[in-house]
Structure 1
């Protein structure tokens, strides 16, 4: 498996990722019922500048297994919204955590010191992963979602910095 920045040539692999995503997985990422990755999302990835908007992909034999991205907040440039999407067969195998670690390291080098994450309350797996990476963080609730402010650097459950 290879984890690297998203590239312009990854569009077809990204679209094919939809074949391995359940409606539930798509809902927990996009907060709406959609049968496939939204075209607006695919187009937005063409606008990556690899500084204020970055995305990492996990690939195996040319197939995209997951994507993790951040988008810097324009008003508070030390903060960025983070989102992760992993294909169903690769969920609960530590891939999302691994991708977030890589993305966190890039973000830190670019002056980002905090991630924001919105998670549907039904996404227990994501909330558990956040509790593992940021054990002291508690979410605020907004209807059917939880909002997290996640300080960087990412730490382990025992409070030590997670090495890259």
Structure 2
């Protein structure tokens, strides 16, 4: 764990333990930490089995189940880490109602990031750039390339000599 994360984590957990120990006593605070650890891991295992059972029966969307299992595993890790703050946060990730709120929030953020990545990738390619090609005025030149238009004075003169109103699609009507 990097030092800039470890130091605040240890400070917050130490202050939380000190507050609980001062409020309830050191023995009770230690008992509560151990109880949160075992209760949290038991609850996480129970929730994961329930998610897997619903998934096996086809009652659960696979994407939702993957998110629930991931958040439950993260909650189990939080419960397993020593301290009251991480235990409470871990329990919140394990309990279904709060897990659903977190999953939906994370899904929105992830969807926005994926869409943004797709847009940036599309813009980085040449596929979205429009190229204007007006072709050739010479009817004999069908496959004029954009980089090599065959427009010269003679072909323009031939085209203007033979121009008719029908060439513009209105047949002379206004």
TM-score (normalised: structure 2)? 0.27
TM-score normalised over the length of structure 1: 0.28
Higher relative contact order by CA 8 Å / sep ≥ 6: 1 or 2?
1
Name whichever structure is richer in helix by fraction. Answer: 2
Larger relative strand fraction: 1
